Chain A
Amino acid sequence: MSNLLAWAVPLSPLVGCVICALLSFRGDKKIAHIPAILSLAVAAAASLGLMFTGAQGDGTTTFEGYKYLNVGSVSLDIALKVDTLCLTLLCVVTCISTMIAIYSSSYMHGDNGYARYFAVFCGFVFSMTMLVLSHNLLMMYAFWEGVGTCSYLLIGFWFRKPSAAQAAVKAFLVNRVADCGFLFGILLLNYLIGMTPDASSMSYFERLNFDNIFAVLPTIASQYPEYLGWVAFLLMVGAIGKSAQFPFHVWLPDAMEGPTPVSALIHAATMVTAGVFLMARLSPMMEYTPSVLSLVGWLGCITAFIAALMAMFQDDLKRVLAYSTVSQLGYLFMALSAGSVNGLMVVAVTAAMFHLVTHAFFKALLFLAAGNVMHAMGDVIDMTKFGGLKKVLPKTNVLFMIGAAALAGLPLLAGFFSKDAVLAVLLDASSDGLYGTQFKVMLGVGFLTAFMTAVYTSKAYFKTFHGPEVIPAEAGDHAHEATGVMLAPMFVLALGALFAGFALGPTHVLGGYLAKTEALSAESTHNEPLWLLVVSSVIALAGTAVGSMLAKKSHASAGLMADIGKNRLYIDWAYSKFIVLPLEFSAGLLAWKDVHIIDALANRIAGIPRLVGLVGQRYQNGRVPTYTFLTAVGVAAVAIWIISR
């Protein structure tokens, strides 16, 4: 039974994907949402079923699939590993994707690529669930690339727009650079495991299974500690690429060129959390390499801060949300890095997963609400062009407000508890001797970022829904509230944004549930002081107040800071000038060299026989005097040679 349920989770979206793909070729484009929603609902039901039947058994259960490859040192089964860590994310992915598919059926209505949209959408859910259920690092990498490809196809969904086509390529390539690290890490790990004596004695040993990796970790850590550090570092590079952390954060804001529901699902709730999931999954390995964790903490810290800074100065509502996603993901990595302190790994992972879950709900809600706004405003998303929409979009107003309040961390909402859990972990870690200073800094940045989050969130909210009513010309006169099909799933998400924090956090439901995973079962001592709750409430409220005041100012401050913020701190600019351009230049140089040096050289060599011929030709001119002279020279030479012997 569990076996069936486990396989239904990924395979049902795959079936949906195939049906929608066939529909898109057939041209029956009106009905593609039916197989999609059905298949996703089946997947969601199956994953909830797995959760409630306790399919993980004691710790982990693996459901066999088929033999993928067995060559030399690479042995890979396609099989599903179910434990509570993956079930947590799995339920989030399948449930939210079902909600968003329902929303999309109305949002994408009438689009030319309706069936294509749902085909890739289901393909994404298939890849994502397989990624989450992977029992093997290599299998995880495979689906890691799979979700990246679906993301590429969906960002470039409106491919006629040059900006969308470029954004898609940018997202894919930035991810691919990071995935290079992931792949190289896997190769190195595969090699290292082969070098450990006990591993090589086993026949047909699936080296990259997570269980086996964890089993040989102590041996590797004692024999090749520096290599293990490299492996952890390289795998971390993959993780921060997918989760859009500095310096790989540049692709995510551009990814907003895709349809808004896609941004909600892939670029806010699910795919971007894959990096966090990878780190959580590999937490036993990361425990051996605290320096890598400390590094990821710094990166998360930088990302959280600069993304919040950039979010303050964006005019585009979706980009505000995009930068806020990047910033919140930074929190997750900060939380994870607390695992570098002895004994805090379990708490760190729990806090990160907690914030991941709540963030998925309220950020998806916010994006869908932004989608409603965009729908009503005739695809205009620039906040300077509309405002005061609470009369036009009364229900969206409320929904956006719930999402924004949760994001800002207003007391008792989802974001409040989960952000607090993250900060509490950082506080715990800051008393450590070795890494304490780092976590003190990170705690400070955490508070600062929380304040900034509240500011930009409330600014965006008040600008959009309050103040004088402005409706852009593109909306025409049919600016209207979204349809019921669009609002219904949003209500579900809103419930999550309101209550998920309270239900999962203070009650220790999530922590207790995650503790059933073997790697996270260690006893944890962890306390959340009351003053932290008070301080973060005050910060959230103050930030909201500041944000609402900022929103009333008709023009954004045009200072230097705003300029830098609008230009994304010139990071994208620096990449294109100092990395892409030199690469393209050297590509051009190589291409020139290939034709004008290598090929020309080959042509010259081919010319040598002809040259020899030309030299000989001069002496075969048919004139008797020349021949006589040459004969004489020859005879003389022979004579000299004979004499001199």
Chain B
Amino acid sequence: MSYLIPLTILLPLVAGLTIFVVGLKGKLMAQLGVLAAFASFLLSAVIVYEAFGKAETNDGSVATVVPAIEYAPSWLKFNLPVALAGKQIKWQLSLGVDGIGSLMVLLTGIVGLAVSVFSLRQIVNRSHHYVGLLLITQSMLFGVFMSMDLVSFYLFFEAVLIPLILLITGWGHSKEASAASKKFLLFTLAGSIPMVVGLIGLALQSSAVNMESTVELQKLSAVAFQQQMHAIAGGTESIAAYTSSHQWIVWVLLLGFGIKMAILPLHSWLPTTYAVAHPNTTALIASVVAKLGVFGIIRIVIPLTPLALAQEAQILFAALGAIAIVYGAMVALAQSDLRRVLAYSSISHMGFVTVGLMTLNTDGMSGAAIQMFNHGIITCAMFLILSLLEERKVNLSFKMEDLGMASLYPRIAVLLVFFTLAGAGLPGLNGFVGELLAMVGMIRVSGIITAITVLGTVLGAWYGLKIVQRVLFGSDGNHDTHHQQHEVRTDCNATEWATLGLLAFVCLYIGVRPSGPMAVIKNDIERLVTVTQPVSKAVHTDIDTVAQNNN
């Protein structure tokens, strides 16, 4: 029982609500918010430390989702007013973190801090409201990553949307913002309603084996583990029987999570939203919120119904991920608006995560988990740099001319080049680790998908270098003399420099010594593999799993 977890969720929530209520009457509210963001960052760092320290290799249970530290007080136990299959559903609110969750919590902490620091100067109007909403969003995100039961997962998952919509509409491009946020909302709701049905379906699994009904992930995953093993032991027929009873669950869940992670044909909310929201807001959405879908798959779909996933959607989703890498990069190449370039590059990068997850083996899933974190850091930095550039040049379009901003703003130029290279998967920076592992995992599953993925790395470098060339290089930047009124004319200030420097340090650290962060998620991935490996071996007999017997 660790009070750290509720504290981490409540601190930003209370701080955010306070700022909202006190509003303009209180002075220095925005600064207070930044302080709260800093405190949450520290708390998230402590959570990683604790989770890493308490992670046990294997406690003998067959559960595939085991929190390292948890908070599930008995007084937070509710009887839900619904009965399924004649049984009352009891909801024991349980929160907890494992390695993967703690890494995402840390990401949320870092990104929340960076974004709120930037918003102090970037957000001119109602900056205290902005910071307050940021903190509330952050709190809900913490909640998602620390949920250990289906109900609270779903509640937090949806609650993220409320402050987020306000952030998009309140501080975006005035005209298109409401249309874009409507689109965002509709898309997400279209996914979340089937998702609820899927979650209910999963909750019913436990009643199938005459257990007391539960929504707790740890118990459900143990039940699921036994079911999969039972099905595999029964041979082809029982696998088919299991799959046919579970395939609808997998599909509705993948639809829900797929929309959130902008999987290929369901991605069109993403460029619109990213292009319209304030870059600071986008930094938060792109780096953390866009990971919610992937996190849902890794937390719910893979442990609870891996057999149906492997049978139904594994290859399809892997192929979609690989296509997304190429497709996103190609479309990004054709854009001349930096916001849209980054939006499509985000789709492209998330393709690596999808590919990694759908390998269902140690290499690929570790790669996906670490890539979620890495891409979060990189993309957050990219959008923050974008906001800096837009301050200096309204209408940041490089269609007509090379902007040559490097000679005016050398610090920003260095940062942009650094993070572009990190995004392009340069070895020694963090992007490489996840991409490499995803590809290493995927080549065991499908050579063709791997080949497409490898090609994607070239295209990724292409648009990355293109924006660097067009935005930073090619001229001395002084050709347009008619600067607009609000434009900033100086290089980024020390605070911004330090914030982005922190992000760059994280990139460099993970790139140079990834074994540290990998150790945090190692146990969780190995637990997941205990179920996914026999499953994928049973379903795809031609997939190589020999290589995994090593450890």
- Interface positions of A (Cβ within 8 A of B): 25, 66-74, 138, 141-143, 145-146, 149, 152-153, 156, 159-162, 164-166, 168-169, 172-173, 176-177, 180, 183-184, 187-188, 190-191, 194-195, 200, 202-205, 583-584, 586-588, 590-591, 594, 598-599, 602-603, 606
- B473 contact set on A, CB distance < 8 A: 156, 159-160, 162, 164-165
Q: Which of B53-61, B314-322, B373-381, B424-432 contacts A (4 or more CB under 8 A)?
A: B424-432
Q: Does B474 contact A (CB under 8 A)?
A: yes
What are 30 A-B residue pairs whose CB atoms fall within 8 Å in the complex?
Answer: A68-B513, A70-B518, A71-B363, A71-B366, A71-B437, A72-B362, A72-B547, A72-B551, A73-B548, A74-B363, A143-B427, A153-B417, A159-B474, A160-B473, A160-B475, A162-B474, A173-B465, A177-B458, A183-B439, A184-B450, A187-B439, A187-B454, A191-B547, A194-B547, A204-B550, A584-B333, A586-B330, A594-B268, A594-B331, A599-B271
Contact A142 B428 (CB under 8 A): yes
Q: Closest CB-CB distance, A297 to chain B, in whole Å?
A: 26
Known A72-B551, A188-B443; judge A169-B466 contact (CB<8 A).
yes
- A145 contact set on B, CB distance < 8 A: 426-428
Residue of B nearest to A74 (CB): B440
- B427 contact set on A, CB distance < 8 A: 141-143, 145-146
Q: How many A-B residue pairs have CB under 8 A?
A: 170
Determine the distance from Cα of A188 to Cα of B442 in the docked complex, in whole angstroms.
11
- B518 contact set on A, CB distance < 8 A: 69-71
Q: Does B433 contact A (CB under 8 A)?
A: yes
- A177 contact set on B, CB distance < 8 A: 458
Determine the distance from Cα of A183 to Cα of B363 in the docked complex, in whole angstroms.
16
- A162 contact set on B, CB distance < 8 A: 402, 473-475
- B428 contact set on A, CB distance < 8 A: 142, 145-146
Determine the distance from Cα of A161 to Cα of B474 in the docked complex, in whole angstroms.
5
Contact B457 A180 (CB under 8 A): yes
Contact B457 A73 (CB under 8 A): no
- A205 contact set on B, CB distance < 8 A: 550
Most chain A CB atoms below 10 A, which of B407, B432, B515, B544: B515
Contact A590 B363 (CB under 8 A): no
Q: B458 contacts which of A25, A166, A176 (Cβ < 8 Å)?
A: A176
Contact A180 B331 (CB under 8 A): no
Q: Does B99 contact A (CB under 8 A)?
A: no
Residue of A nearest to B521 (CB): A71
Contact with A along B15-40 (1 / 0, CB 8 A): 00000000000000000000000000
Most chain B CB atoms below 10 A, which of A153, A159, A204, A590: A159
Q: B426 contacts which of A149, A164, A191 (Cβ < 8 Å)?
A: A149
Contact B441 A72 (CB under 8 A): yes
- A141 contact set on B, CB distance < 8 A: 427
Q: Does B229 contact A (CB under 8 A)?
A: no
Contact B433 A69 (CB under 8 A): yes
Determine the distance from Cα of A588 to Cα of B333 in the docked complex, in whole angstroms.
8
Determine the distance from Cα of A188 to Cα of B457 in the docked complex, in whole angstroms.
16
Q: Closest CB-CB distance, B398 to chain A, in whole Å?
A: 12
Q: Closest CB-CB distance, B403 to chain A, in whole Å?
A: 11
Residue of B nearest to A589 (CB): B334
Contact A72 B363 (CB under 8 A): yes
Q: Does B546 contact A (CB under 8 A)?
A: yes
Determine the distance from Cα of A194 to Cα of B436 in the docked complex, in whole angstroms.
16
Which 5 residue pairs are nearest across A and B when measured between Cβ atoms?
Answer: A194-B547, A142-B427, A72-B362, A72-B363, A165-B473
Contact A187 B443 (CB under 8 A): yes
Residue of B nearest to A156 (CB): B473
Q: Closest CB-CB distance, A274 to chain B, in whole Å?
A: 14
Q: Closest CB-CB distance, A73 to chain B, in whole Å?
A: 5
Determine the distance from Cα of A204 to Cα of B515 in the docked complex, in whole angstroms.
14
- B155 contact set on A, CB distance < 8 A: none
Contact with A along B174-192 (1 / 0, CB 8 A): 0000000001001100000
- A191 contact set on B, CB distance < 8 A: 443-444, 544, 547
Contact B458 A587 (CB under 8 A): no
The interface size bin for chain B is 35 or more
Residue of A nearest to B470 (CB): A165
Q: Does B406 contact A (CB under 8 A)?
A: yes
Residue of A nearest to B450 (CB): A187
Contact B334 A149 (CB under 8 A): no
Contact A69 B550 (CB under 8 A): no
Determine the distance from Cα of A149 to Cα of B549 in the docked complex, in whole angstroms.
37
- A69 contact set on B, CB distance < 8 A: 433, 514-515, 518
Q: Does B461 contact A (CB under 8 A)?
A: yes
Q: Closest CB-CB distance, A195 to chain B, in whole Å?
A: 6
Contact B546 A187 (CB under 8 A): no
Q: Closest CB-CB distance, A174 to chain B, in whole Å?
A: 10
Contact B475 A72 (CB under 8 A): no
Contact with A along B144-178 (1 / 0, CB 8 A): 00000000000000000000000000000000000
Contact B440 A203 (CB under 8 A): no
Contact B440 A190 (CB under 8 A): yes
Residue of A nearest to B465 (CB): A169
Q: Closest CB-CB distance, A285 to chain B, in whole Å?
A: 18
- B432 contact set on A, CB distance < 8 A: 142
Contact B440 A187 (CB under 8 A): yes
Q: Closest CB-CB distance, A283 to chain B, in whole Å?
A: 24
Q: Closest CB-CB distance, A248 to chain B, in whole Å?
A: 13
- B282 contact set on A, CB distance < 8 A: none
- A180 contact set on B, CB distance < 8 A: 454-455, 457-458
- B457 contact set on A, CB distance < 8 A: 176, 180, 183
Interface of chain B residues 508 through 523 with chain A (CB within 8 A): 513-515, 518, 522
- A172 contact set on B, CB distance < 8 A: 461, 465
Determine the distance from Cα of A594 to Cα of B474 in the docked complex, in whole angstroms.
30
Q: Does B327 contact A (CB under 8 A)?
A: yes
- B433 contact set on A, CB distance < 8 A: 69
- B367 contact set on A, CB distance < 8 A: 71
Contact A195 B546 (CB under 8 A): yes
- B265 contact set on A, CB distance < 8 A: 598
Interface of chain B residues 455 through 490 with chain A (CB within 8 A): 455, 457-458, 461-462, 465-466, 469, 472-476
Determine the distance from Cα of A202 to Cα of B549 in the docked complex, in whole angstroms.
9
Contact with A along B252-293 (1 / 0, CB 8 A): 000000000000010111011000000000000000000000
Contact B513 A74 (CB under 8 A): no
Determine the distance from Cα of A603 to Cα of B544 in the docked complex, in whole angstroms.
42
Q: Does B310 contact A (CB under 8 A)?
A: no
Known A160-B476, A162-B475, A195-B547; judge A72-B437 contact (CB<8 A).
yes
